């Protein structure tokens, strides 16, 4: 029987729409709906492989005090995240997480990141901006929030829809698929420069700021310190940051204003222990 191209296209569109509909998730804390096509277990498996290479390449910091601080803050934030997710009935979202917190010796890299599964890397270059443990908690909460919000999965899912159309369902089922691996590398930037995660969108950055405030507050760190951190980051940039409309990150001024607006909600979770 002859079937018109129009019917084929319509059928494909319906199938893709069905996959996308069933793959819609909600982000913890904010409740925003997002596209999440890839099973988190597969995201974690790919992230574990890449993280192991990053740590092997290192070099890891030999500063015992700084390394201990990163691990201490990381584990405190981890405990807060697990508590928050349990209270929201979302502990299952953390299945497969095997948290790691490492400090990489690189004074020229002002950065930190967290991959799916709780794999965190800090670079020594960001510590002077953090100044102290509270500053580390600001960065830690923010980066962990990216993983909890599954921003990487969302970015990959959007790219899959754009690149593969009707094949998106079958591709998303296999982390060994060359297409999936390629899109993972595009999403995380691990192809050309191992472990350097590409900038998230302004929407993702703002969402991670909001979630990070809640997580650090629950961990016993004053969320007001997030404003102080970004004021220091602004000063450290020397005014060299590009205009907001040219950047995937919110401008420092916008970010600081948004953080101040989020503070009243975050402070509800704050019970000082530090």
Q: What CA–CA distance (Å, rounded) separates 209 from 216?
A: 11
156-165, 168-177, 258-267 — most confident range: 258-267
The candidate with the shortest Cα–Cα distance to 34, out of 265, 213, 211, 264, is 211
Domain contains 240: no
CB atoms closer than 10 angstroms to residue 1? 2
In which domain, by residue range, is 75 found?
Answer: 40-152+195-199
Domain contains 63: yes
Q: What CA–CA distance (Å, rounded) separates 23 from 35?
A: 6
Q: Of 199 and 132, which is predicted with more confidence?
A: 132
Give the distance, in angstroms, between the CA of residue 160 and the centroid of all CA atoms in the same chain: 19
Domain contains 143: yes
Q: Is 18 exposed, middle or buried (0-12, 13-18, 19+ CB in 10 A)?
A: exposed
**Domains in the chain: how many in total?**
1
Active site residues: 143
pLDDT in tens, 41-82: 888 988 898 899 899 998 999 999 999 999 999 999 999 999
Domain CATH number, residue 55? 3.30.2010
| Average pLDDT for the chain | 79
Task: Kindly state the helix (H) or strand (E) to which residue 50 belongs, with its residue range.
Answer: helix 40-57
Say which residue the tokens 């420069």 belong to. Answer: 193
Domain contains 61: yes
Our CA dihedral for 223, 225, 226, 231, rounded to 10 degrees, sits at 160
pLDDT for residue 42: 85
Domain contains 20: no
Domain contains 111: yes
pLDDT surpasses 70 at 163: no
Domain contains 90: yes
- Note whether 81 and 144 are within 8 A (CB): yes
Average pLDDT over residues 20-42: 72
Domain contains 81: yes
pLDDT for residue 156: 78
DSSP E strands, 151-269: none
pLDDT surpasses 70 at 112: yes
- pTM, two decimal places: 0.80
Strand partners, 60: 104
């Amino acid at each position: 029987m002859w079937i018109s191209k129009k019917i084929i296209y319509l059928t494909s569109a319906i199938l893709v729409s069905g996959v996308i509909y069933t793959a819609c998730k909600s982000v913890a804390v904010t409740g925003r709906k997002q596209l999440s096509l890839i099973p988190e277990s597969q995201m974690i498996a790919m992230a574990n492989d890449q993280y192991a290479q990053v740590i092997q390449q290192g070099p890891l910091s030999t500063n015992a005090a700084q390394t201990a601080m990163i691990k201490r803050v990381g584990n405190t934030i981890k405990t807060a995240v697990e508590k928050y997710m349990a209270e929201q009935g979302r502990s299952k979202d953390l299945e497969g997480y095997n948290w790691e917190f490492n400090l990489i010796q690189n004074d020229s890299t002002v950065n930190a990141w967290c991959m799916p599964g709780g794999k965190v890397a800090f670079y020594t270059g960001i510590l002077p901006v953090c100044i102290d443990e509270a500053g580390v908690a600001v960065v830690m909460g923010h980066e962990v929030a990216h993983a909890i919000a599954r921003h990487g999965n969302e970015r990959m899912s959007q790219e899959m829809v754009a690149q593969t159309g009707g094949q998106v369902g079958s591709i998303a089922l296999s982390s060994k698929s060359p297409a999936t691996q390629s899109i993972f590398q595009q999403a995380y930037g691990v192809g050309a420069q191992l472990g350097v995660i590409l900038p998230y969108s302004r929407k993702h950055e703002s969402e991670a700021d909001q979630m990070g405030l809640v997580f650090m507050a629950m961990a016993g760190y004053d969320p007001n310190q997030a404003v102080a951190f970004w004021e220091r980051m602004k000063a450290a940039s020397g005014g060299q940051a590009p205009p907001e409309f040219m950047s995937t990150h919110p401008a420092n001024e916008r970010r600081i204003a948004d953080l101040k607006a989020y503070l009243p909600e975050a402070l509800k979770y704050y019970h000082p222990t530090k």
